[in-house]
């Protein structure tokens, strides 16, 4: 899992049928995570500017009940307190 900040959202009117109804957010991992921005499915209601916990790979599908959907990143939590995140 990684910790990142939600920096934007993505709107997609045409997508895989298993992704219909989902919200997509752009997440920028904190600098210590060493990865670039990613698009993550959000089913916890994160907003722009919030720090979030993102599951990646198969954990993203399993943790969000999307086992048969093309998901490789999912926001699974919103950080309430994280000292030194930025």
What average pLDDT does range 52-56 have in this prediction?
Answer: 93
Query: Is residue 85 in a domain?
Result: no
Query: Is residue 84 in a domain?
Result: no
pTM of the model: 0.84
% the chain with pLDDT above 90? 48
71-75: Cβ within 8 A, 24+ apart: 71/19, 71/41, 73/27, 73/38, 73/39, 73/40, 73/41, 74/40, 74/41, 74/42, 74/43, 75/6, 75/25, 75/27, 75/40, 75/41, 75/42, 75/43, 75/44, 75/46
pLDDT band for position 53 (cuts 50, 70, 90): very high
Query: Is residue 42 in a domain?
Result: yes
Q: What is the CATH number of the domain that holds 9?
A: 2.40.50.220
């Amino acid at each position: 899992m990684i910790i990142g900040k939600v920096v934007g959202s993505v709107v997609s009117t045409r997508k895989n049928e298993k992704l219909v109804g989902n919200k997509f957010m752009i997440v920028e991992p904190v600098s210590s995570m060493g990865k670039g921005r990613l698009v993550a499915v959000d089913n916890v209601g994160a907003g722009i500017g919030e720090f979030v916990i993102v599951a990646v790979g198969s954990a993203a599908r399993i943790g969000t009940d999307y086992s048969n959907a093309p998901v490789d990143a999912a926001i699974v939590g919103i950080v309430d307190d994280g000292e030194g995140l930025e």
